[in-house]
Structure 1
Amino acid sequence: MMFSKVLAAGALAAAMVVKTAPVEAAEPARAYAVSGECGGVAATTVAMAPGLCLGLVWQGTDADGPRMPRGLLQLADGDWLVTDLGGWDAGKGAVWRLSTANDGAVRWRRLARGLSMPHTVARGPDGRVYVSEMNRILTLDPEAAEPAASVRTVIGDLPDNRLHDNRHPLSSFVFDGNGDLLVNVGAPSDRCLDGAGRPKTDARGGCVESAATAQVRRHAYLGNGRWAEESTVFASGLRNSIALVRHSSGTVLQAENSVDLPTAEHPFDEVNVLRQGGHYGWPYCVDLATPLPGWPARQARCGERDRPVALLPPHAAPLDMIYYEGAMFPELRGRLLMTWHGYRRTAGRITAVETDERGAPLTDIGGRYAIYPRGSLAYPAGAPSVKGKVLTPGWDRVAGRQPRGSPVAMAVAADGSIWVTDDRSRAILRIARSQP
């Protein structure tokens, strides 16, 4: 009975009309214009898949609220926790609590500050709230009188991959079925090459950076909010595993942001099904089995690497994946939702991918992918691509009306709506059912 009341309260809070800051006060190139209503909040002008609309919950225009909203977690009373990257320097991040007043206006309370690039926020197997910083996993109590005083390090001494020295500083995590923490450690460079474009190798001819980075680590759960500081390598050869998700069947998926070659058409990003001990190619191989420039085929040994289950458009930059099981969109149940955050023409999209009973993406062979402005390009012949649909086909920049989308994290609210953060536009949005 109590659980039902909590869900009802959360659904009611999520459905309230939320007043937004005047969009004309925001940075003009990043402001969302609004017109009409989308499930109780102001509707943006973004063209959506049939039956959907994209509402603007909040867009920052002043010092109140997150500067770069990233992770989302709904609380039992309908409030939301939002991680704030703050900037690409240590100590600028925060955790905020979003609530709505009786008049529907958004209210912010900063729970913790001085954090280093916080990203993921999630409930653990013990019901506590956990947050990833660049170099640690922490817990805090959002209901404490002084939440900042409740901050406690759970796992420390993760690699301090500062962006200006390296490339992939953020940590993310998921909980395995037994409570273990699976933690992303990004690669400290793009391709493990020196200044002259030669491989940086160890005595065996492999990348010197791959022993302790470019991997997903497993930290054993010890119970009662404690995990082992020492870790084992779950999977490696993963350049940037910000997007991690675990299916109820036990399948763990990773979406790979591939390397930054100059062309906009190559290489392709990936979806990988992770297995214990698997190596997924970085920095040697991309696509299905293509050696990267700088790594000779005899060193790359692409035929020995785990191939992706599916390719994604090049430079899509997937940053989050969740399985949808909400009530608002029965047609999406069981699908894998994915954000594409990149700045090139394939990005600015949220996709809904069909899956099998294990949660792995269903694929088509070959096919095409959409680009902005309106058009499409082909996947490689014979290559598997994800099977599904784009929920946000019109999230391109329209002067005076909307920015190109930069979706980061998603969360399904108690009422089944899908909340999304957009860090470049300093906005929080909500996908709901459009009016017939």
Structure 2
Amino acid sequence: MNVFDFSLKLNGFPIAKAKRVLKDIQSKNEVDFIAFAEEKKRDIIMYHLNHNPFYKSFGKNIDLNNWNSVPVMTKSDLQQPLEQRLSEGFTTKNIYVNKTSGSSGHPFIFAKDKFCHALTWAVIQNRFGWYNINFNSSKQARFYGIPLNKVGYYKERFKDFLSHRYRFSVFNLSDEAFAATLQKFKTTTFHYINGYTSAIVQFAKYLEKKNIVLKSVCPSLNVCVVTSEMLFETDKKLLETQLGIPVVNEYGASELDLIAFQNPNGNWQLNSETLFIEILDEKNKVLPNGEEGRVVITSLYNKAQPFIRYDLGDIGVLSKKSTIKTPILEKLTGRTNDIVILPSGKRAAGLTFYYITKSIIENDGKVKEFVIEQVKPDTFKIIYVGDETLSESQKQTINRKIEHYLESGLHIIYEKQNKLNRQKSGKLKQFSSYLNKKK
């Protein structure tokens, strides 16, 4: 029985129709697809101008014949009561409602109409299908957060049961917890792993310490899909070695859809079927493929509320190999609110700072994981979890590298903790700048 699809249908999400529509979109040739994309962009703008009072006011100067006249929408624009953003005919009773994780610092409640949400799941199932994963039959080992209150906890456990998933909490990454995790893999026929990068990396480090390759104790495993956090090349190699299976990188946003998924050729293929994705500069000008800028996305099917030229808050690069039908994300370099602003005025992506430190701090295996916070223009705090306190020699090595790659005169504070504080969702924010926080 197709339990996963049935549960979607039971909740009013027309998954069968969504799969038919997706198949029809994917069958179009490149020329027809270009025409289709232009038509869907125009249709969704016209719909919201005619049926959404919020967007009619927001986009009052739009010229339908000039895409560049469409204003860019930010998360702060959407931080108002949901009822004020809904299109005519939609209420909280006939839509899908959820909340963003807040990792960008701008959390808000969002809505999708039920067909749009069904399309989201059709795209996700299609991408996982590239690796022979069937949501109705394949068993998932899930490394995600879980609500700690009883109602939320059991609700998620029930959803996991219907979805052929078993959830491992990411809030306890101790050796004792990982020993129990390993035992579950030994006794369960898992087909794939899915979850937050940092938690799965920590499990891989535990396996490395125990000299265990996971597939040797769970032969049914075929692939690991990591999501929501950056996947560094060194971590990917560790995962592939200790899990013994291919590692696939996913990029998505709950308010939109699955955005990019690594295809079997190793390319990060963007979702062009339900989204229109642009890379813009600071003046909202479209950048040519190969240049770095802001990731701005239009949801082509969401009629419940508009996400049109929506600035997701991420910075990325489209590959020069991209086509309209098959765009490729060459690089995702972080979030716009995670920029290091140095005393000299120099700017750098926060994850660059993290990566410099990572190459040194984890070499001896004594540091399990760490995060970096910018507390003042010239002051950074490195908070880490490890078996031992960093020596003065190690600290000096890190300080020299930071000075070499960034600039001199920076103050680095080191703080050892027993565990890192994760967000409510379970995600680990690897770099945070308090200079960018709202006051």
TM-score (norm 1): 0.28
Instruction: Choose 1 or 2 for highest CA Rg.
Output: 2
Q: Which has the higher contact order (CA 8 A, sep 6+)?
A: 1
With structure 2 as the length reference, what TM-score do the two structures score? 0.27
